[in-house]
Amino acid sequence: MTISLPLQKMSVSDKLRALEDIWEDLSRNPKSVPMPAWHADVLKAREKRVRSGAARFTDWTEAKRTIRERVR
């Protein structure tokens, strides 16, 4: 099935709402969403860093501030 959205006519808000709706639908059955091999590799590497004590964690509020500064 091919679905075509009028992306050029949609506002940013409309596009984000469409993304949120799609993500919400996909999240209802996460096992149906295939995980690429590289993603499993990244997760394993991160888990290893946590177990070894090498991982650093940031408070969510601080992380959001840092992300916002980077994208400005």
**What Cα–Cα distance (Å) separates residue 43 from each residue in 17, 38, 40, 47, 49?**
28, 9, 5, 6, 10
Q: Domain residues of the chain, as ranges? A: 35-72
pLDDT, one tens digit per residue, over 11-68 is: 999 999 999 999 999 999 989 999 899 999 999 999 999 999 999 999 999 999 999 9
